[in-house]
Amino acid sequence: MGPGGDDEPGLLLCGVAPPRRWCAPRWSLRRYTSVMTSVAAPPPMRTQSKRDLLELSGLSGGEIREYLDMARGFVPIANRPDAGRSDLRGRVVANLFFEDSTRTRLSFTLAAHRLGATTVDLAGPGSSASKGESLSDTARVVEAMGVDAIVVRAKSAGAARIIAGAVGCPVVNAGDGRHEHPTQGLLDCLTFAEAMGRLESFDLSGLTLGIVGDIVSSRVARSAIAGMTALGARVVCVGPPTMAPGGLSAIAPGVSVTHDFDAVLPGLDGVMMLRIQFERHGEGPASGAAAGGGGSGLTGSLREFRAFYALTEARAAVLRPGAVIMHPGPVNRGLELDPGAADASASLILRQVSRGVAVRMAVLARLLGQGA
């Protein structure tokens, strides 16, 4: 019997038994299967239509390329305040963010403004959701005020689909629990394709992307896997068994799982590092513990994580010529990614942020444009 009981055997982090003070989650097969089932198939309410973007899983390579083609056209003006367009003049986009966000919320706001739309913002702590109002009722209230689209981020997987089933206007999923973050997946595909010289066709065949870290908690990873594999890339999921369970290989064709970062690193065309999502594991923030330090119950395990899975400057030097470094942010420097690697010439982290505005312009334009 493991630390978690008969059906929770206490999976090992890096092949050795953790000390008793280790308090990160131990994912049993039953719990992992339950999470994957709820994540992969939120409660069916309304099928995804061209007027919603709820997930990349299930979209064809052709459908993903349509979004990327539009985003490519917006790249030259996405970060130029003086190059505004009038595509969505008179339209109102509501940003409903029930979880914290910097990049996604600001880039959706900028994207809407670049296209001539106006935005209204609602945060969870300042909304009636904090008084017990359901997400569906909140969304209906917002729609009744005359908004033309709703962008939603929420803590629960399937929340965006629930809202899409409750309102008539287009809904964009800006991240729902561990489920998906489709616009992040699109911007990652755009950034990777651009760096690999594949902007014309977005054909990623023959390329391999490694996704490293807390994959089991990451909606970003699921959208990246769906998008990259639909475009022909291979994806290698890398991490300790608790964060990269073998079942991830079933998400899509072309996905594999390994717990040996150093073995696969030289063969990667790109590596996407992920932070440990302490907030989804019931842990405190990583501040102050990233490089080790004393006293924390997680300290020893964080040191172990860094030893096996951090992209250090030494590991970055092993990457093949032309390989790139990505991270969806926020970055915990000194934990999953060393500053020298984060700021290296191979790093695309800030380009990802920049391309995020272009991608979100494309999504809003496609969902709200003429004929929508």
**Residue 159 structure tokens:** 């929340």
Whether the per-residue pLDDT at 117 is higher than 60: the answer is yes
**Phi then psi dihedrals of residue 121, to 5 deg:** -120, 135
Domain extents in the chain:
52-180+354-368, 183-351
The region of weakest confidence among 241-245, 307-311, 366-370 is 366-370
pLDDT digits (tens, 9 = 90+) for 283-339: 555 443 444 443 333 344 899 999 999 999 999 999 999 999 999 999 999 999 999
State the first-to-last Cα distance of the chain, in angstroms, to the nearest integer: 57
Q: What is the pTM of this model?
A: 0.83
Instruction: Please classify residue 124 by burial: count the beta carbons closer than 10 Å to its beta carbon, then call 0-12 exposed, 13-18 middle and 19+ buried.
Output: middle
Please tell me which residue, 352 or 126, carries the higher pLDDT value: 352
Q: Which of 156, 141, 183, 203 is nearest to 52 (CA)?
A: 183
Q: Which of 258, 278, 293, 296 is nearest to 332 (CA)?
A: 278
Question: SS3 string of 1-13?
Answer: CECCECCCCCCCC
Whether the per-residue pLDDT at 51 is higher than 70: the answer is yes
Whether the per-residue pLDDT at 223 is higher than 60: the answer is yes
pLDDT at 369: 85
Domains 52-180+354-368 and 183-351 share a fold: yes
pLDDT at 284: 53
Percentage of the chain modeled with pLDDT above 70: 78
Mean pLDDT on 232-248: 96
Q: What is the CATH number of domain 183-351?
A: 3.40.50.1370
CATH 3.40.50.1370 fits domain 52-180+354-368: yes
Report the distance separating Cα 236 and Cα 247, nearest Å.
13
Q: Which of 39, 149, 141 is nearest to 88 (CA)?
A: 149
pLDDT digits (tens, 9 = 90+) for 152-202: 999 999 999 999 999 999 999 999 999 999 999 999 999 999 999 999 999
The region of weakest confidence among 43-57, 260-274, 334-348 is 43-57
pLDDT digits (tens, 9 = 90+) for 52-104: 999 999 999 999 999 999 999 999 999 888 877 999 999 999 999 998 889 99
